[in-house]
Amino acid sequence: MYHRVADLDVDPWELAVTEEHFESQLRHLAVEWNPTPLRSIALERPLLTRGRPKVAVTFDDGYVDNLERAVPILERYEIPATIFITTDTIDRPGEFWWDRLEHIFLATADLPPHLPDEAAALLGDNPVVGSADLAAVQAGPSWRAWEPYQHPRHGLYRRLWQALFDCAGEERTRVIDTLSVWAGHRPEGRGSHRTLDRAQLVELAAHPLVDCQAHSTDHSPLPTLTAADQLTALRDSRARLEALIGGDIYGFAYPHGAISPATLRLAAEAGYTYCCTTHTGPVHRSTPDHAIPRCGVGDWAAPEFEAQLCRWWGGEG
């Protein structure tokens, strides 16, 4: 499971792999493994062919670097990839909400002294913000969102991330829009964090190595919604993507990997043939079609990537 092929200064969720590492990772897959379309692994399940384990490459979200940087490397090694697309940013250009939040709190030195009321209400208090030394915020080994805070800005970022994760899609958009204006940011966002526009999505979806499947409209974690709203979200995601690229959409990746037993049942009811989680592990013959695990690939050089693949495969790789 990948998200981005990019070189970022700040990457709190470890979403980006550099081009150099992505290339060496794919070279290893091409030589030692059996790269296969995800659909074949999810639905057919013979997992070994000619002694080499099948592996599928996936990307989530729909960053423009998937088209501009990942595709040329996929072509070089003739490796297929499934790309799960969040459609709201296709319809409304700008960064994903988690990137906008990172831009505000981890990459903007001067902010007003207090949060805007909407954000303070979401947190239940109004901590001091103001200016920060970005060298200190971004210092040392890049801070990851699951690590202890090294700077007050990390704490603010993480608390607001959780509050936005937990609230409904429209409120999340309203609060992040307010925060962006408060921080003095432009709605179109940074060039380094561009998402696909419609023409780019159509180009990506038409590529013979690429299969575009669904990843929701607004990236809301499904278990935070009522059952009726989950079903609507699952159906809307497929309908919107079908309207954008045509064809038959049958696969889904759960936003943030968030699932509940009801979510799995509703995904089947919504008509998806398979769905992917972010749980780590290989696919077995008995793996449920609507809970296909994946392994998140970090920005690793080839030796670490190889060691991780073998660990994930259970020592048989």
Q: Which residues bind Zn ion (CB under 5 A)?
A: 60-61
User: Shortest gap between Cβ of 15 and Zn ion (angstroms)?
Assistant: 9
User: Shortest gap between Cβ of 62 and Zn ion (angstroms)?
Assistant: 9
Whose Cβ is closer to Zn ion: residue 11's or residue 60's?
Answer: 60
Whose Cβ is closer to Zn ion: residue 47's or residue 222's?
Answer: 222
Whose Cβ is closer to Zn ion: residue 32's or residue 236's?
Answer: 236
User: Shortest gap between Cβ of 253 and Zn ion (angstroms)?
Assistant: 7
Amino acid at 154: H
Whose Cβ is closer to Zn ion: residue 23's or residue 60's?
Answer: 60
Whose Cβ is closer to Zn ion: residue 59's or residue 157's?
Answer: 59
Beta bridge partners of 269: none
Choose among 225, 186, 223: nearest CA to 93: 186
CB-side exposure of 205: number of CA atoms within 13 Å? 22
The residues near 90 (Cβ < 8 Å, ≥ 6 apart) are 62, 195, 196, 197, 198, 201, 244
Beta bridge partners of 83: 59, 212
User: Shortest gap between Cβ of 196 and Zn ion (angstroms)?
Assistant: 13
User: Shortest gap between Cβ of 85 and Zn ion (angstroms)?
Assistant: 10
User: Shortest gap between Cβ of 84 and Zn ion (angstroms)?
Assistant: 7
Choose among 1, 4, 2: nearest CA to 196: 4
Whose Cβ is closer to Zn ion: residue 2's or residue 33's?
Answer: 2
Choose among 280, 189, 309, 201: nearest CA to 245: 201
The burial class, CB within 10 Å (0-12 / 13-18 / 19+), for 312 is middle
